[in-house]
Amino acid sequence: MTDRIDESRPFIPVSFAVLTVSDTRSLEEDRSGATLAARIEEAGHHLADRDIVTDDTDRIARQVRAWVDCETVDAVITTGGTGFTGRDVTPEAIEPLFDKHMDGFSALFHAISREKIGTSTIQSRATAGLIGTTFVFVLPGSPGACKDAWDGILKPQFDYRHMPCNFVEIMPRLDEHLKRGKLREGADD
């Protein structure tokens, strides 16, 4: 079975926040964040916010958590800090926040990336998961990697018309694990 678009379904826009992690770039020089912002809006979605922070685990986690806590943000995409150098700390900042890990994202990202850059894809620690009811994607800091992730994975998965399934159709049910935990806590009272 292959991916397809069901034209009988409506397009439902989603609200994204984009965070660039860099010690050296400003928003004006941020090609990766600009690439994501442009693609989000071109696809018909809403760019709720965009920011840049230094490679600091506390600052990264604080900004992502602020967006996760914002009811108008459905998904957060970070770019930068996924390599192996001493300053690359984005996965360390965000993965502990995940309620659920999305292992398939990393696998698919690396498969797409390998087609473009060969075995060099192994130098990225791209990851994704769910924090509460917010999708969070951690991408490398190159515009090419951002294009690959958006075009090859995120754009189709955030299109309600994408079949056989997509993220948008499950968004109303993302809090089931949170509600189930509250129900268990209530049973203990």
CATH of the domain at 170: 3.40.980.10
Pairing of strands 162-163, 4-5: antiparallel
Does residue 132 lie within any of the structural domains? yes
Strand (E) positions, the chain?
4-5, 15-21, 46-53, 75-79, 100-101, 127-131, 134-139, 162-163
Residue 95 within any structural domain of the chain? yes
Rounded to 5 degrees, φ, ψ at 181 are -65, -40
pLDDT, averaged across the chain: 93
Q: What's the domain range around 82?
A: 11-188
Give the chain's domain count: 1
- pLDDT tens, 56-94? 999 999 999 999 999 999 999 999 999 999 999 999 999
- Name the helix (H) or strand (E) containing 144: helix 143-149
Tens digit of each residue's pLDDT (9 = 90 or more) over 27-40: 899 999 999 999 99
> Three-class SS of residue 54?
coil
- Tell me the mean pLDDT in the region 159-166: 96
- pTM score: 0.93
Give 185's pLDDT tier (boundaries 50, 70, 90): low
pLDDT of residue 179: 74
